[in-house]
Structure 1
Amino acid sequence: MDGTAAIKQNLEALKRILVMLVAMAEMGGGMPGAGGVGAGMPGAGGQFTFFPRKGEAASRQVLAEKSKLSPALTLPRHLYLAILRLLRPAEAAARRLIIAAARGIVVTLPPLRPRKPKPATLRGPRAFLPKGPKKRPKPTPRSWSLPLLDPPRRPFRIARRAVPAHAAPRILGLDFGAPYHPLPPPPSPNDPIDSARLGQRLAALTAALDDLPGQAQRFARWKARRDAAIARDGPVSGRRSPLRRGRPPGGRLSRYDPVATHSRKIREVDEILAHAHALAVHALDNHDSS
């Protein structure tokens, strides 16, 4: 099974979906009073455009423009949730394409560095000498990258039940002279939602799709480190597989079937995710059996 053509086809489809998500974010960011991601559409009066310019890589343009933004980025609630519903399966599909593209890549890890012994605690008169001022290093800009591992399931997490503020019971006392405080209104679809993290996830997905071979090398290094730890120390705690069991995150299809007919609830990103999941499972099984 040669999945090169399938990986390329799904990669191009994911790029189209990403362009659509970025366009949705720019539309919301260009609305009056919403300084969202990509508020620089023509006539929007924003700061920048999320689309790459001609002759430049998408990831470099996105990260360069992202560093110029102010932290106060908002999107309307309905648009924020619509983007999030498509972004999660797109990230899972990109992660699986990376795993499939890393099939057959062999990396050589550098030798482990010996740990430096911790300095002994100062004793005697030197322990009471004042220490000089510590020079704080300049903070380096954080580079966002697509996670290579699926988020783990939390079956034993207890969901906290909270009554929304607009539906809280009204308990009035006998003090009729007390001021009346009305309840806050219910959340509106147009309420501004902080979208700074959403923009970072879009930038990370853009960088991953723009450099799939480099991300495949990154996954191959992670797999080599994991295999070396297992060979050295035996079964180790933590993640042994980058994919979690069951349905992929955000997906609505349990398996890939190219000839099956689906309902209207199945989106294009669900079919891409199911196909990418099959490619990733095939690549992992062949690596482990070899």
Structure 2
Amino acid sequence: MDGSAAIERNREALKRILAMLVSMAGMADGGSTLPRRLHRAILRLLRPAEAAARRLIIAAARGLVVALPAARMRKPKPAIGRGPRAFMPVMPKKRRRCPQHARNLRLLDPLKRPFRPCFHYTPAHAAPRILSLDAPFRLLPPPPSPDDPVDAARLALRLEALGRALDDLPGQARRFAIWKARNDAAQQKPAAGRFRRLSPLRRGRPPGGRLSGYDPSADHPRRIREIDEILAHAHALAVYALEFSDTS
């Protein structure tokens, strides 16, 4: 199965959808806010587009072998040189993400958290307006409107990251190959208390997609969009690429 032509065809389709999203957002005009209605409409297409691009990267990395540099062994400092800190517990250092990496497309699907507590909050327009028996009624803000302005800075970064990934698919494939090599090496020597991803894809339907499988001959209902078909095809390519790398 040679998926080079399929990857290129889906990449061009994603670039066309990305151009449409940028035009909808009006990022070329330098705007920093968008109406809530338009912001949500763009996110409904951007999320499956990101998932499809992520799967095209995985498919493009099939058979790519990278050599990881040897781990550097740091010689621990003597307790006398560390002073009082020698008797304090060592806390793991937090990794700092540089701005260059923050603008890159995520290589892993966000995991579902089924045990995450769900809090139900009363909206402002439905909350009681009496503070006490002696206090007067309090005027509450109106409910959110579809035309309210929403900050689009984060949305612009996600659109930029998607465009960078589609323009440099081989470079993104190398990023994924490096991550997979490091992840496979770390699974051979698991560290206590450290969680490792077994697969870059999460179980079930891809994020934002409406199709559970790819079938080019099937008749889809009207609610199925073009991005859903692209995502289903890219998901099939990514699953095949992961199975190929595991059996090689």
Equivalent residue number for residue 182 of structure 1: 139
Larger helix share, 1 or 2: 2
Give yes or no for contact 2:129–2:139 (8 Å, CA) kept in 1: no
In 2, distance between residues paired with 1:230 and 1:140? 26
Q: Which has the higher contact order (CA 8 A, sep 6+)?
A: 2
Segments of 4+ in structure 1 off by > 6 A?
Answer: none
In 2, distance between residues paired with 1:94 and 1:88? 10
The superposition leaves residues 132-181 of structure 1 with CA deviations (integer Å, 9 ceiling, x where unpaired) of xxxxxxx9744410011000110001111001101113437543xx4443
Deviation at 1:212, TM superposition (A): 0.1
The superposition leaves residues 174-213 of structure 1 with CA deviations (integer Å, 9 ceiling, x where unpaired) of 43xx444322111111111111111111111110001000
Equivalent residue number for residue 47 of structure 2: 88
Cα 1:195–1:116 change in 2 (3 A) is: farther
In 1, distance between residues paired with 2:199 and 2:53? 16
TM-score when normalising by structure 2: 0.87
1:131-170 pair list within 5 angstroms? 141-143=99-101, 144-170=103-129
In 1, distance between residues paired with 2:161 and 2:11? 15
Cα 1:237–1:183 change in 2 (3 A) is: closer
Computing the radius of gyration from Cα coordinates, the structure with the larger value is: 1
Choose 111-120 or 254-263, whichever is displaced more.
Answer: 111-120
Cα 1:107–1:174 change in 2 (3 A) is: closer
The superposition leaves residues 213-260 of structure 1 with CA deviations (integer Å, 9 ceiling, x where unpaired) of 000011111111112222344997320110010000111100000011
Deviation at 1:75, TM superposition (A): 1.0
1:287 to 242, 245, 248: 245
Equivalent residue number for residue 230 of structure 2: 272
Gaps in structure 2 of 5+ consecutive residues: 85-96
Equivalent residue number for residue 83 of structure 2: 122
Equivalent residue number for residue 188 of structure 2: 231
Is 1:255 aligned with 2:213? yes
Gaps in structure 1 of 5+ consecutive residues: 27-36, 41-45, 47-72, 124-138
Look up the SS of the partner of 1:193 in the other structure.
strand
Letter in 1 for 2:12: E
Report the identity percentage. 68
Letter in 2 for 1:159: C
Equivalent residue number for residue 161 of structure 2: 204
